[in-house]
Structure formats: C-alpha cells, structure tokens
Chains A and B, each alone.
Chain A
C-alpha cells in the first residue's frame, strides 16, 4: 500500500533464528524446621521483592460432601482475625506494609500466596505465621464470609460464562466431587459454622503436611532458616491423613446439557474426563491439546474465529489434577450460530482421530511448549507458582529440567493415541447456554439431551 523498505531488504526472507538461549531453572533445597514444616527456598534477587507460597495439600476434596465450601471458607477466614488481632487489624497490618495476600483453594489443595518488598520480610513472615497458626474463626466474621460466598454464587447466575462452566463440571463428573465447584454450593455453604472451619483447620493446617516456598531477594541462608524457625516454632501438629478421591468414571454416552438463556451470545462447552497431573502421558496430551485448541493458532480457533468469524476466540485445555481432571473446550458464539458452532467444535475434536497432525502442526505445538519456557520462570511469582505445583502434585524436583525433552520426544503417533484415548467423541459432554428451546431437535441429534437450570439442576424444556 505504501513505499516499502529499502531495496536492500528482501522482505520475503524470513529472519533466521540465532542459537537458542539457555535458561537456568530454579533449584531449591528442602529442609524441615523443628516443627517439620518443609522449607523450599529459591534465590532470585533481580528486584527487592519476595514471593511466598504456603502450600497445604488439602482442599475441596477433603470437604465433607454436605459441607462443601469448608476448605475455601477456612482459607478465607484466616485473615479475618487471629488470637492477637481483629480482622481490621490484620487488614491494616497487611495493607500498611504493602503486602498482597491471595488465597486459592482447589480440589487438590490450598495455597496462600504472599508477595511483599524484601524490606518488610520480618513483618510479612510473622503475619503469615500468625494467620496460619492462630486464626480466631470468630462467628460474626464467619457469617460475613458465608454471606459473601452465597452472594458470589447468586451473582454467578447472572454470568453465562460461569453458568456454562458450572454445568460442564456437573455434566462431566456427575456425583464425583469434581462435579461440584471447589467453593461449595448454596445448600452446603448455608450450613457452615465457625466450628466446621476450626475442625478443618485443626485437622489439615499442620506444619508436618505443609510446605513453605520462598522465592526472591531473601536474607542469607543461615539467617533465613533461623528467622523462620523462630517465627513458625509455635505451630505444631502431625500430618493428618489426606482424603484420596476415587478416579472419576468416564462419561457413558455423549450427553447434551441445555440451559435456556436469551442473550446475544451462546456459551458453549465440550468436555470429558481427562488425565491426572502425574500421568506419564501428560506431555503427549499437552502437545495434542496444543493442536486442537491450546493455542491461538489451533484448529478450534482457526475454524470458529478465523474462518467463520462467529466468536472472539475458541480454546481448549486439559487440567491435570490428583485424579483425572477435566478436558474443556470453550467458546462464546453469536447466538444465531449456536447449533452450527457445536457441530463445528465436535468435528474439530473428531478431526484429531481422522486427520493426523501435519508435520507443521506437530512442530509448532512442540516448539510453542518448549521455547516458551523462559517466560514461565521470569518473575518470583511465576517461580513460586511452578514450585508450588510441584509440591501439590509431587512432581519430581528435576521435572522442569526434563520437561523440554519429554515434549520434544512426543511423536505424531503418540498424539494420535492421546486423541483416541482422551477425545473419544462418544464420551463427551456438551453444554449449551443459549436459545436452547428453539434448538431442541438440532441438539437432540447430537446426543442425550437434558435441560438444566443455571445451577446445573434438571429443568423443564
């Protein structure tokens, strides 16, 4: 359109790559303190900051079924007052030093993340030890947290994206705990009391089971161990037995869950029972998923966005958990293309059986996964998150050092095997949140059609 570069530059020549840079992966050493809390430390001192992950290997999977939400509320209640400080005082203390605390509860575990400037190391670590080992679980604060969680559940019903995700979990896992939100549901959250939270805390917040990951600009080694020993020495207790969930059953026959929603877009999900995080087939599944939907250049997105223009994006992922976690493909499409988009998604998933990956697709997927690794270890928070995952899932310490080679070695045949095993189109669940009443016949052709409400309960057509 306009005058181009100088005649010396041949724009058709793609620039060639220089030698691939080497990355140094985090190495850590573990040492139990006197109370058996395991410490993992990684020094990373580009910036004067520290990222901490306290990993408790118990989460929603350890909730009593009729008390689902206990693990989440227990973790959230930690900052709502301790034996020494009120909730307001804890908030004041954290905010005053500019520390950011985040709580994450999944089915597999509980992670408290704390990020702060290294100048406030002592204050931050003392606060962390205090909230973890001496929470008050005062009834008025617990009630407020319950109300907040209930409000989240209620307002989630306004968001089609959340409605679709919730229904998909139910459609894939049925009565298995993975079928419920890790934060519990309305009926179970309503029943919770301070006593439930205290009991969960007593049982599972034990130093012998926990791991403290510290990454960043840390005090000298011996000094670090000494300070942590003194801060955490009052926290005691042996590790409790953790709940081992049964492996979820694969879906017996393809089911379609239809939720009536009259908006301009339909939220679509297709999913199934995927793999466990420790499954040796994990690298092959990652490569396979990168071809079907894991990247912006994958088959699902190229079809639904780049070819059809029906959506802002379509993607898929396998989430490896302690047991077999979900495979999920997701998109939101113009409501008028709802049924056609479901058919296109199914056909792209089935294409993984019938159309083997091209050499280019395979190379792109393997390169995208391996060459991107330096970006996964750039910040202290990223390093702490990776190490935290290793702790929760029991990945070997040299896992990331071997990861590139494992991905490099994945062959086209292994990708095909993974697709046959984990993308069996007869054992998939489809969720449609859209104008389903008018699409009844079209959807019924695709599988066993059931109408559901925004909470995933049976509904009338």
Chain B
C-alpha cells in the first residue's frame, strides 16, 4: 500500500490544478503458466500492500452431484479444512490465523473455491496447506460425521430458521428444474444424511486432481517466486483423468409455460412475491444488456422498482432484482415484500406493469448512461483488494473462458444500446419463461413464538 501524507498546508506553493487525472482502472496484468500435470497458475503482481491472496478453484460444483446427493460438493468443501497426513483437526485454522491471515471456502453450482490472504512472506504456508489438502486428505467416519452435523447446522441457520429462505430455495429449483442445476447448493437434509465416507473418497479422486484445479495468486509476490513454489509443492502430483463434462443445458428462453407454486412460511409475518426468468449462460452477449437492465430496474433509489413500488405507490416494503448468471443458463430474479395491508397480487401486477413498460416504451439514453456509470464504479469495487482480484481472474477464466477479457469486458457493456435493452426485455421477461413462488405466512397457531404483547 502506498500511502503518502497529503499536507494540506497553506504554505505549500505548488499548484497542480487542471492537471488531467486517471480516469479508469489501469489494465490488470497477469501471467499464466501450466505445470506438466495440467495444473494452471495465474499470477497478478500488486506490490501496493505487503500481502498476497491465494485462490484455488476446483471446477466442480453442485451441478456435478450424483442424484440423491444434493449438497455433497459443499459438504465435501468442509472436509478440506479438517485433517490431512500432516494436519490434525484445528491445525489448518491455527496456521493461517497465527500467520495473520484469513481464509474461507465457498461452493456454488459450477465451482468450489478455497482461498486465503496472508502477509506476503507467508505465501509458502498457503502453498504447503493447499498442496497438503489436495494430495493427502484424511477422511474418517468420525470427522465426516461431525462435519456433516456442522453443515446441517449451516442449513438450519441460513434456511430452516429464517423467514423467506425456503421460498428462495424453492424458486431456485423451480427456475432450473430441467437440468444439472435442479437442486440447491446447500442440499436437502435427507441427501446430506445419506452421504458416506465412500462418496468423499470417490469425489476426491474424481475432481480434486491437478488438471481440474486453477490457482490464482495476487499480491506482493513475483511470478518467478510463484513458479518456483508451484513446482516445489504441486509439481510432483500425478495428473488425473479429466472429469467428464456436464450434459448440455437446454435452450433459453423456456417456452414450456409458467411454473408457479406457493410456499407456507412459519417465520414470515408478511407475504412475498418471488419471480425468476431463465436467462442464457453468463458468457452470452445478452447477459450484458440483462445486467444493465437489472441495474436500471432495481439498483439504487432512482431505480424503476424503488420509485414505483416503494415511493409512488408505497406498496412494497422491499424490492429487488438481480442476475444470477452461471456457466450454464441462470435466472433473472425479481422480488418484493408488500407493505402491511397490501395484497401480494397487487405487487405482482405492479411489477408486471413495470416489465411491460420496459418492453413497450424502453429506457432512456440518460437512464442507460446511469447504469453504465454504476457498472464502471462497480468494476473498481471488484478490484480493491488482492483477494477480489483473484476472484475476478477466476471469474473470467471459468465464466468467460478467457482471462484476457478482464481488460476488455467494460467495452462490451458500453456498447449496449437502448434497443438492446428493449430486445432482451421482450425476449426473456415473458410469462412462458417465468417461474413464480408466492410466500404466504403460516396461520398463527404454527407461528414459532408467542404473540407480542
């Protein structure tokens, strides 16, 4: 980190007014190399702060799960923080935290990520730990059973003891009920219960091979340093069989009619309207227009949904739209919680009206420019930390199939026109391509708590 004092002292005589200033983020430089065993490394040098982020993605996620094993990729992720030949339970966290680092792992439909940020003089620690768990995982019935309980508690905490979350999971599976994304990442309790130690061993052998892993390092390191450590810690690992690709996804938009269901929620006091439209894979051209559309629709207080539903009509307590884009087809989500005394049907009608306006009247030039400006600001947000930069690099590798697009992608957003916005609104935001979940509060006897006085 370069931090220079600004001396705002009147005695300073140097005037720098009117000097042209940096306008956009500088291009993000990176270097890629591949070991003989197929393991890919991408390095971005950033010497501004004496830290380094290491981010390992295995290209396996919930989409790769076997039938009856929903939630397994995530449960497996938990196992990688437990034991290896050299690491006893608790050692992993003690090593990282004791070095002043931070770490975590996340699983989604398409990939499983493991990452740590450390002072840059401890890069070797991260490589040692990552190589240890890639090569020498130790799974026992005991550590598997315990970690399964932890994952069940994670599901209870995030979903089963929360308002609206069962509705969200229901919509997620309803949108994607036609392919490898047809189940949730967190999985069902029954499937978690059925998983075995044998499943862990075979999943490990199948997907956790060097040729299915990519390591991105960003920070106060050099490419040579990373290359040397990559050889030392990962070079001797044998290549595995390449995992089988997923079956092809169906085409979007869907034309098989609206899917609609109602979910009773014993925690929610107010109903909710949740809708999702199928959208193409993240790398598709239409994604750019859909992202900008989503921004105009719901980003910030000047957005259409906020102005209409929350301000003008005072009909909604809360409303949002976002793009859940994936390697395969994803979803465009729109949701709202009505204010007390407002029907969910009324909310649905208002949202549909706003969608129709997009389709028939389109958006204005200045409105589109606003969305593009927000996109530019967001680009900087995504590059503030070395960890965020490793995520960006991995994102372009997996979701765009080309890391170099990291430096040209903004231009694709800037080329989108108001006609593109109308076109995608008419193509995707249509009833035949829609899934809807209405969340209804459970009757008062089923409420989890005594009524308030």
A-B contact count (CB 8 A): 338
> Is B204 at the interface (CB under 8 A from chain A)?
yes
The CA of A57 and the CA of B212, in the complex, are separated in Å by 53
**Which residue of B has the minimal Cβ distance to A89?**
B302
Given A367-B98, A453-B452, also A221-B311 (CB < 8 A): no
Q: Give the residues in chain B near A459, CB-CB below 8 Å.
A: 450, 453
> Is B22 at the interface (CB under 8 A from chain A)?
yes
Q: Give the residues in chain A near B162, CB-CB below 8 Å.
A: 159
> Is B246 at the interface (CB under 8 A from chain A)?
no
> Is B119 at the interface (CB under 8 A from chain A)?
yes
Given A117-B377, A220-B19, A225-B8, also A95-B137 (CB < 8 A): no
Interface centre among A88, A370, A375 (most CB of B within 10 A): A375
The CA of A158 and the CA of B131, in the complex, are separated in Å by 44
Q: Give the residues in chain B near A220, CB-CB below 8 Å.
A: 14-17, 19
A375 with B102: CB separation less than 8 A: yes
B377 with A100: CB separation less than 8 A: yes
Indicate with 1 or 0, residue by residue over B439-453, a CB within 8 angstroms of chain A CB atoms. Answer: 000000000111011
Q: Give the residues in chain B near A92, CB-CB below 8 Å.
A: 302, 370
> Is A415 at the interface (CB under 8 A from chain B)?
no
> Is B359 at the interface (CB under 8 A from chain A)?
no
Nearest CB in chain B: distance from A6 CB, A: 3
Pick from B151-159, B176-184, B399-407 the stretch touching chain A: B151-159
Pick from A43-51, A201-209, A348-356 the stretch touching chain B: A43-51
Nearest CB in chain A: distance from B131 CB, A: 7
The CA of A23 and the CA of B48, in the complex, are separated in Å by 10
Nearest CB in chain A: distance from B373 CB, A: 4
**Which residue of B has the minimal Cβ distance to A435?**
B448
Task: Name the interface residues of A349-381: CB closer than 8 Å to any CB of B.
Answer: 363-364, 367-368, 370-375, 377-381
Pick from A171-179, A240-248, A295-303, A416-424 the stretch touching chain B: A295-303
Given A223-B15, A310-B153, also A332-B1 (CB < 8 A): no
Given A39-B8, A157-B269, A265-B160, also A46-B48 (CB < 8 A): yes
A378 with B1: CB separation less than 8 A: yes
A381 with B384: CB separation less than 8 A: yes
A224 with B154: CB separation less than 8 A: no
Interface centre among B95, B299, B300, B339 (most CB of A within 10 A): B300
Q: Give the residues in chain A near B190, CB-CB below 8 Å.
A: none
> Is A343 at the interface (CB under 8 A from chain B)?
no
A42 with B19: CB separation less than 8 A: no
Task: Name the interface residues of B84-141: CB closer than 8 Å to any CB of A.
Answer: 85-86, 89-90, 93-95, 97-102, 117, 119-122, 124-125, 127-128, 131-132, 135-138
Pick from B54-62, B63-71, B234-242 the stretch touching chain A: B234-242
B49 with A378: CB separation less than 8 A: yes
Q: Give the residues in chain B near A25, CB-CB below 8 Å.
A: 3
Nearest CB in chain A: distance from B58 CB, A: 14
Pick from A63-71, A148-156, A191-199, A275-283 the stretch touching chain B: A148-156
The CA of A332 and the CA of B102, in the complex, are separated in Å by 23
Task: Name the interface residues of A282-339: CB closer than 8 Å to any CB of B.
Answer: 295-297, 302, 305-306, 309-312, 332-334
B100 with A24: CB separation less than 8 A: no
Nearest CB in chain A: distance from B296 CB, A: 10
Residue from B10, B128, B381, B448 in contact with A262 in the complex, judged by beta carbons closer than 8 Å: B448
Given A29-B8, A221-B6, A311-B150, also A264-B156 (CB < 8 A): yes
B21 with A48: CB separation less than 8 A: yes
Q: Give the residues in chain A near B257, CB-CB below 8 Å.
A: none
> Is B146 at the interface (CB under 8 A from chain A)?
yes
The CA of A44 and the CA of B1, in the complex, are separated in Å by 8
**Which residue of B has the minimal Cβ distance to A301?**
B93
A11 with B22: CB separation less than 8 A: no
> Is A402 at the interface (CB under 8 A from chain B)?
no
Residue from A14, A96, A264, A454 in contact with B449 in the complex, judged by beta carbons closer than 8 Å: A454
**Which residue of B has the minimal Cβ distance to A51?**
B384
The CA of A424 and the CA of B360, in the complex, are separated in Å by 67
Nearest CB in chain A: distance from B82 CB, A: 9
Nearest CB in chain A: distance from B453 CB, A: 6
Q: Give the residues in chain A near B194, CB-CB below 8 Å.
A: none
Task: Name the interface residues of A67-118: CB closer than 8 Å to any CB of B.
Answer: 79, 87-88, 91-92, 94-100, 115-118
**Which residue of B has the minimal Cβ distance to A217?**
B22
Given A3-B237, A47-B384, A264-B156, also A364-B269 (CB < 8 A): no
Indicate with 1 or 0, residue by residue over A243-287, a CB within 8 angstroms of chain B CB atoms. Answer: 000000000000000011111110000000000000000000000
Interface centre among A157, A259, A372 (most CB of B within 10 A): A372
Residue from A94, A163, A332, A454 in contact with B157 in the complex, judged by beta carbons closer than 8 Å: A332
A305 with B150: CB separation less than 8 A: yes
The CA of A160 and the CA of B159, in the complex, are separated in Å by 12
Indicate with 1 or 0, residue by residue over B287-300, a CB within 8 angstroms of chain A CB atoms. Answer: 00000000000011
A42 with B3: CB separation less than 8 A: yes
Q: Give the residues in chain A near B253, CB-CB below 8 Å.
A: none
A95 with B301: CB separation less than 8 A: yes
**Which residue of A has the minimal Cβ distance to B236?**
A6
B314 with A95: CB separation less than 8 A: no
Given A11-B86, A49-B380, A98-B376, also A91-B302 (CB < 8 A): yes
Q: Give the residues in chain A near B349, CB-CB below 8 Å.
A: none
The CA of A454 and the CA of B153, in the complex, are separated in Å by 22
B119 with A20: CB separation less than 8 A: yes
A116 with B135: CB separation less than 8 A: no
> Is A383 at the interface (CB under 8 A from chain B)?
yes
> Is A54 at the interface (CB under 8 A from chain B)?
no
* Interface size grouping (class) on chain A: 35 or more
Residue from A41, A147, A374 in contact with B6 in the complex, judged by beta carbons closer than 8 Å: A41
Residue from A148, A370, A378 in contact with B384 in the complex, judged by beta carbons closer than 8 Å: A378
Task: Name the interface residues of B254-274: CB closer than 8 Å to any CB of A.
Answer: 267-270
Residue from A14, A31, A310 in contact with B128 in the complex, judged by beta carbons closer than 8 Å: A14
A5 with B131: CB separation less than 8 A: yes
Q: Give the residues in chain A near B14, CB-CB below 8 Å.
A: 220-222
The CA of A448 and the CA of B307, in the complex, are separated in Å by 50
> Is B408 at the interface (CB under 8 A from chain A)?
no
> Is B317 at the interface (CB under 8 A from chain A)?
yes
> Is B2 at the interface (CB under 8 A from chain A)?
yes
**Which residue of A has the minimal Cβ distance to B134?**
A2
> Is B222 at the interface (CB under 8 A from chain A)?
no
Q: Give the residues in chain B near A367, CB-CB below 8 Å.
A: 97-100
**Which residue of A has the minimal Cβ distance to B312?**
A88
Residue from A18, A96, A118, A224 in contact with B121 in the complex, judged by beta carbons closer than 8 Å: A18
B5 with A42: CB separation less than 8 A: yes
B24 with A265: CB separation less than 8 A: no
Q: Give the residues in chain B near A44, CB-CB below 8 Å.
A: 1-4
> Is A396 at the interface (CB under 8 A from chain B)?
no
**Which residue of A has the minimal Cβ distance to B373?**
A98
Nearest CB in chain B: distance from A449 CB, A: 16
The CA of A11 and the CA of B8, in the complex, are separated in Å by 54
The CA of A296 and the CA of B10, in the complex, are separated in Å by 49
Q: Give the residues in chain A near B13, CB-CB below 8 Å.
A: 222
Taking A98-B375, A311-B150 as known contacts, 14 extra A-B pairs with beta carbons closer than 8 A to each other, sorted by chain A number, are: A3-B238, A4-B135, A5-B237, A27-B5, A42-B6, A49-B384, A99-B377, A155-B317, A220-B19, A295-B93, A312-B150, A367-B99, A378-B49, A453-B449
- List 30 A-B residue pairs with CB atoms under 8 Å apart, sorted by A's residue number: A2-B238, A5-B235, A14-B95, A18-B121, A18-B124, A20-B119, A21-B51, A39-B8, A42-B5, A48-B21, A79-B301, A94-B300, A98-B377, A117-B377, A119-B23, A155-B269, A219-B16, A220-B14, A221-B8, A222-B16, A226-B17, A262-B448, A263-B267, A265-B153, A332-B156, A334-B152, A364-B98, A375-B102, A377-B1, A454-B449
B contacts, CB < 8 Å to A: 1-10, 12-17, 19, 21-25, 48-51, 85-86, 89-90, 93-95, 97-102, 117, 119-122, 124-125, 127-128, 131-132, 135-138, 145-150, 152-154, 156-157, 160-163, 201, 204-205, 220, 232-238, 267-270, 299-303, 306-307, 311, 314, 317, 337, 339-340, 366, 369-370, 373-378, 380-381, 383-386, 448-450, 452-453
In the complex, the 4 A-B pairs of residues with the closest C-beta atoms, listed nearest first: A371-B100, A220-B16, A21-B50, A6-B236
